[in-house]
Amino acid sequence: MSAHIDVLEGGERSFLFLHGILGTGANWRSIARATQKKVPEILPSLVTLRGHGNAEDGAAPHTIQAAASDLPAGAYGILGHSFGGKVAIQYAAQSMNASPVQQLWIIDSVPSPRPERKGSESVLKVIDTLRTLPRFFPDRRAFMDAVVATGLSKPLAQWLSMNTRSSDEGVFFRPKLEQIDQLLADYFEVDGYGLLETVSAEVHIVIGGDSEVFTESERERARAFAADRSNVFVHVIEGAGHWVHSEKPRDLIALLSERLS
């Protein structure tokens, strides 16, 4: 298994939290802990996907299906943000043959294929910027300073630094950008709605009210998809953009707690 799993204290119902591209499982620690306090029966597991943080690279091809296959079987529920959202959908679809997932949460992740990559320009810019940086730095602070010097924000530099690791040659950014390219290429091609049609879990599509990823047409498609199915629900968290969990954590925790209880 190529993913790295950090299991927190909790109950018996395994619940997986998946980050987006360039993130790590630690991105969801505070949300997971707060939700578990309100819903003691869940056992939160913070997943770091292949090629990120402390996870292994895994064998090629680097796809949504491969990332989902890295995860432990038998989870009661799974939540994924952005790139992790489609991994969560794939996991739920794959689980139908054995131990079906009961709860599937998709956090500001458009299920549709997006070959034009509209709405993801900012993350693509970050990846292109990372290509221009040296491979090694004296320390984590030097990495962050180099990121800020390119014009990216200090909070973003701090977030990216969570994916740095130390070696004899210095501090380096852990994800291999060529692997990230492959994962993203598949992410933009996968039809999540086609997979969702096969899923029996209670599905929650959470959209940031100010999200640039979800266009109005995609919001309409999500609502129409839910209207035809008793197991699919769409929630809009007002005042949040794409980073719902960091911009409106209390709202998301309240929603998770209400539906998981």
Q: Examine residue 184 and state whether it is found in any structural domain, yes or no.
A: no
Q: How many CB atoms lie within 10 A of CB 166?
A: 11
Picking from 160, 179, 198, the residue at the C-terminal end of a domain is 179
From residue 52, how far is each of 15, 22, 59, 95, 222 by CA, in Å? 20, 7, 14, 24, 29
Q: Examine residue 239 and state whether it is found in any structural domain, yes or no.
A: yes
Picking from 154, 179, 204, the residue at the C-terminal end of a domain is 179
Picking from 179, 199, 217, the residue at the C-terminal end of a domain is 179
Could you give the angle at the alpha carbon of 197 between the alpha carbons of 51 and 66, nearest 5°? 20
Tokens of 225: 């998809």
Are 216 and 252 found together in one domain?
yes
Are 20 and 84 found together in one domain?
yes
Give the domain extent around 164.
121-179
Tokens of 151: 């014009």
Are 70 and 129 found together in one domain?
no
Are 79 and 51 found together in one domain?
yes
pLDDT tens, the chain, 261 aa long: 799 999 999 999 999 999 999 999 999 999 999 999 999 999 999 999 999 999 999 999 999 999 999 999 999 999 999 999 999 999 999 999 889 999 999 999 999 999 999 889 999 999 999 999 999 999 999 999 999 999 999 999 999 999 999 999 999 999 999 999 999 999 999 999 999 999 999 999 999 999 999 999 999 999 999 999 999 999 999 999 999 999 999 999 999 999 998
Backbone dihedral angles phi then psi of residue 191, each to the nearest 5 degrees: -95, 95
Are 135 and 28 found together in one domain?
no
Are 12 and 98 found together in one domain?
yes
Are 28 and 113 found together in one domain?
yes
Are 52 and 108 found together in one domain?
yes
- Closest CA relative to residue 188, chosen from 40, 86, 53, 89: 86
